[in-house]
């Protein structure tokens, strides 16, 4: 017995396969992020011509401009978050905050001015 497939039948035969691949890829991505989520925002009055330079464990991860934020995954364990306002015309020193990340937790910080330097303040969860 020979079955004939029209294009619509082929579509419905292929659709479950494509969906299965997509769901599998999403699960793999989530499993690879066994750490936490880190969000760093800018205070509303931070300054229009300034950028928040963010480093994690000495590695630059973002330069956060006005009306933007950093949102990424961070591995479980101890980390050092460092921020500095750029351009740094007054030779200010960067400030650092220690963070211990637990799996599945979300950490939200806001970059604010304090005593003429930029610091990270822990914020309420979104």
Q: Is residue 19 part of a domain?
A: no
- Between 13 and 26, where is the model more confident? 13
Strands 106-114 and 95-101: unpaired
Cα separation, 2 vs 33, in Å, equals: 48
Residue 92 maps to a domain: yes
Residue 87 DSSP class: S
Q: Domain residues for 111?
A: 34-122
| CATH number, domain containing residue 116 | 2.60.40
Q: Are 118 and 88 in contact (CB under 8 A)?
A: no
Residue-level pLDDT at 88: 86
pLDDT of residue 16: 53
97-119: pLDDT as tens digits: 999 999 999 999 999 999 889 99
Q: Which residues pair with 26 in a beta bridge?
A: none
- Residue pLDDT, tens place only, 63-108: 999 999 999 999 999 999 999 999 988 889 999 999 999 999 999 9
């Amino acid at each position: 017995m020979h079955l004939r497939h029209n294009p619509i039948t082929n579509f419905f035969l292929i659709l479950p396969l494509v969906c299965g691949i997509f769901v599998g890829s999403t699960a793999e991505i989530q499993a690879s992020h066994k750490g936490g989520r880190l969000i760093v925002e800018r205070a509303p009055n931070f300054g229009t011509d300034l950028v928040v330079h963010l480093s994690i464990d000495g590695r630059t991860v973002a330069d956060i401009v006005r009306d933007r934020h950093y949102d990424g995954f961070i591995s479980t364990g101890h980390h050092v978050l460092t921020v500095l306002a750029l351009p740094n015309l007054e030779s200010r020193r960067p400030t650092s905050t220690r963070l211990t990340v637990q799996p599945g937790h979300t950490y939200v910080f806001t970059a604010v001015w304090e005593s003429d330097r930029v610091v990270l303040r822990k914020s309420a969860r979104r």
